[in-house]
Amino acid sequence: EPEVTQTPSHQVTQMGQEVILRCVPISNHLYFYWYRQILGQKVEFLVSFYNNEISEKSEIFDDQFSVERPDGSNFTLKIRSTKLEDSAMYFCASMQDRGLSYEQYFGPGTRLTVT
């Protein structure tokens, strides 16, 4: 069964460093999402991406964040200058075209630790 994959599974970085979290969505999916979950808290929406552009972003997704689909298969989340409060689990999700399925398939997550 096709699945969303994410790399790395765990990333440790120092405050102020740039990080790139990588996701490979399911191949025929058209909608892509990033969510984050601070330890012990709920899952929060960050950004949605469709047709090579951001379709919606949350207040959390400020200028320090960016997303890209550089090669038609990967979907990346970049944090330009990490802060301690960026420590969280980051989940990528993808969804097939609307009208076919409204289910978002989640990757296993990347645990980001900022020290």
Instruction: List residues near another protein by CB under 8 A.
Output: 31, 33, 35, 41-45, 48, 50, 55-56, 89, 91, 93, 95, 98, 102-106, 108-109, 111
Q: Report the residue number, 12 or 15, with the smaller CB distance to another protein.
A: 12
| Shortest separation between residue 102's beta carbon and another protein, angstroms | 5
Q: Report the residue number, 17 or 111, with the smaller CB distance to another protein.
A: 111
Q: Report the residue number, 14 or 62, with the smaller CB distance to another protein.
A: 62
- b/e per residue, 61-95, with b = 16+ CB within 10 A? beeebebebeeeeebbbebeebeeebbbbbbbbbb
Per DSSP, the three-state class of 29 is coil
Q: Look-up: residue for tokens 């097939």?
A: 96
| Shortest separation between residue 62's beta carbon and another protein, angstroms | 17
Q: Report the residue number, 87 or 104, with the smaller CB distance to another protein.
A: 104
For 43, phi then psi, to 5°, come to -80, 130
Q: Tell me how long the chain is.
A: 115
Tell me the H-state helices in 24-86.
none
| Shortest separation between residue 48's beta carbon and another protein, angstroms | 5
